[in-house]
Chain A
Amino acid sequence: MSITFTRERIVLDNGAARAEVGLVAATLCELSVGGVRLTETVQPDSLPPMGCGIVLAPWPNRVRDGRWMLDGEVQQLDLTEPALGNASHGLLRNTAYRVAEQTADAVTLAAFIPPQHGWPFALETTVRYALESDGLTVTHRARNVGDRRAPWAVGAHPYFRIGETPVELLSLRVDRPQYLELDDRLVPVAAHEVEGTGFDLRNARSLAEVDVNTAYGDLEASIGRSEAAWLESPDGSLLAVWLDEDFRFLQIYTPRAFPRPEGPGLAVAIEPMTAAPDALNSGWGLLHLEPGQEWTGGWGVRYTPAA
């Protein structure tokens, strides 16, 4: 059954770029530059398909069994992916954010994460979407308002495209030297060099030939703000995803049956993440905030039309 409902969206427009943002999960519902669509569209009055555009906090991706350890005590999160027995994509995916600040070309949305099952911490979080002339800057903030040190990770789940070019005609490049091997529950069990494997995306490859759902990163090096992944269209138009230093991982996901009004097809999620899947257990990329401490980090997307 299709789910439709009426719910306000925020429209941002700076004359060059345009975005629509939904309050539930602070969802980036659509983004375009010069009329060229840069993301898959969350249809009005619909749920984001396959997590399209949602914010993932205070952890992206999965926590195995919804369980992790804190100071020697087992923490049991709610199981939000019952089929695989995991806790997936944080605690805000069904939360209606509040508008904290809004202008014509930027909006800041806020959500409180209270203490709950498996998560004995209190965090104030915000997401700011700010249009640029050639794209979008997304800034995530978190402040620990509880009385104990809290782990923190954040991610986002955009699916990118370049205008109406079919996604299978785009090429993808990801400049990261390592990928995470997943088990049958889609939780990482090891990190490997991409060199010499089918996971190597450091040279552009046609998306028609890429079939992945895994995280890429560099577990050793810390890289400053820089571009990390690119989509290129046959006519030379280019979309670049840049990441701040703390966004150390990218989940690349290429579902074959992403739902669109004209029928299901290939889509590509390029998900900036500060931490690896299951980071509450592995610690990979996990940040910590002392009581009162605040963190800020961001990512963004830039579009360069064909010459």
Chain B
Amino acid sequence: MHIPLTLGDVHAQIDTVAAALRELTVAGAALTEPRVDDGLPPFCNGIVLAPWPNRVRDARWSHDGQVQQLDITEPARGGALHGLLQFTDYEVLSRSDAMVTLGAFIAPQHGWPFALETDVTYALEPDGIRVTHAVRNVGAERAPYAVGTHPFLRVGVTPVEQLTLTAPAASYFEVDERLNPVAEAPVTADVDLRPGRVVGELRLDTAYGSLAHANPADGHGDSAWLDAPDGARTTLWQDLAWGYLQVFTTREFPGPDGPATAVAVEPMTAPPDALNSGQGLIWLDPDAAWQGSWGLRYRGAVS
């Protein structure tokens, strides 16, 4: 089901499947790649990644000395990718013109002996959107949790390859041939996004850490921004507790005129394979709750 949201000249479409952000515009300018059909979201466009973002190596991890075997959701690489909700049709818990809260239960299942109630709130703001993820452990065991989302960002109609991407991240995760992280290291010149890089020159499927959130206020700060040549800017912000970003570029994103360059900038509370490394994992005691937010805002061309 699609849920339209409106606040002045800000419009969004939310999909109940994977609680996905289908579309977001401010004053007619697209901040994200729009979904154009009801098929599988191309390259996971807009979906929620919970209770872990990115990959779990071999879909296996260990908990209290026991091997946990998750379902293999990326058979080509043998991993478990993007959590357990990417094909879940969320329930609408509350709704108004400019806000919707969607809920999903994560049931105990293969490799995941925990029970979590989760919800996602999309709330429009005058210049963008605020997205809040909440979780409560309804099981009898302490449970790990991590969350991320998978928006592809735009700045209106400017071709994405012409945009400049900046992200204040001082470290990145080296990966093996199956894209599993093997080490966190200071960013090298080829992956350093701090100076601002033209998207058309980037080839990334890379996780970043050591984020120095810019303009911190109220517990959150800017984690990445895309600038168009005309001065328009789309900014991603995330809670200070969200310490990670995945940046993914593709030349094959299905656009209205055929394959196009697109860039996903994915806010995450934990890096890839966190169930094995433990890095960034949030641990919830029985009945404990957690919530965190990220958002997008838009600034028009400087005239």
B62 CB to nearest A CB, Å: 12
A146 / chain B contacts, CB cutoff of 8 Å: 38
| Cross-chain contact B72 with A117 (CB below 8 angstroms) | no
Q: How far is the CA of A47 from the CA of B141 in the complex (A)?
A: 14
The answer to whether A96 and B107 have CB atoms under 8 Å apart is yes
Identify which of B86, B91, B115 gathers the most chain A CB atoms within 10 Å of its CB: B115
Nearest chain B residue, comparing its CB with the CB of A5: B115
Bound: A94/B59 CA distance, A: 17
> Per DSSP, are chain B's interface residues mostly helix, strand or loop, or mixed?
loop
Is B88 interfacial (CB 8 A cutoff)?
Answer: yes
A5 interface neighbour in B59, B72, B140, Cβ under 8 Å = B140
Q: Which of A85-143 contact B (CB under 8 A)?
A: 91, 93-96, 98, 111-112, 114-117, 120, 122
B17 touches A117 (CB 8 A): no
Which of B72, B114, B138 counts the most A-chain CB atoms under 10 A from its CB? B72
Task: Give the CA-CA distance A232 to B75 in the complex, in Å.
Answer: 44
Cross-chain contact A7 with B105 (CB below 8 angstroms): yes
The count of residues in chain A whose C-beta lies closer than 8 Å to any C-beta of chain B is 32
- Known contacts A1-B66, A5-B138, A78-B75; decide if A114 and B89 are in contact (CB<8 Å): yes
* CA–CA, A6 and B116, complex, Å: 10
* Complex interface: chain B residues within 8 A of A115 (CB): 38-40
Collect the chain B residues with CB atoms within 8 Å of residue A5's CB. 108, 114-115, 138-140
A292 within 8 Å of B by Cβ? no
Question: In the assembled complex, which residues on chain A have CB atoms less than 8 Å from the CB atom of B71?
Answer: 78-80, 82
Partner of A112, one of B17, B84, B107, B114: B17
Contacts of B64 in A (CB 8 A): 1
Contact with B along A181-212 (1 / 0, CB 8 A): 00000000000000000000000000000000
Q: Check A56 for interface membership: any CB of B closer than 8 A.
A: no
State whether A98 touches B105 (Cβ < 8 A). no
Residues on A with beta carbons closer than 8 Å to the beta carbon of B40? 115-117, 120
A146 to B114, CA, bound (A): 33
Interface pair A79/B72, CB less than 8 Å apart: yes
B109 contacts chain A at the CB level, 8 A cutoff = yes
Assess the B87–A7 pair: CB atoms within 8 A: no
Binding site for B on A (CB under 8 A): 1, 3-7, 23-24, 45, 47, 66, 76, 78-80, 82-83, 91, 93-96, 98, 111-112, 114-117, 120, 122, 146
What are 25 A-B pairs with beta-carbon distances under 8 A? Answer: A1-B64, A1-B66, A1-B141, A5-B138, A7-B107, A7-B115, A24-B105, A47-B107, A47-B108, A66-B75, A76-B76, A79-B72, A79-B75, A82-B59, A94-B84, A95-B89, A95-B107, A96-B104, A98-B91, A114-B89, A115-B38, A115-B39, A116-B40, A116-B87, A117-B40
Q: B residues touching A (Cβ–Cβ < 8 Å)?
A: 17, 38-40, 59, 64, 66, 69, 71-73, 75-76, 84, 86-89, 91, 104-105, 107-110, 113-115, 138-141
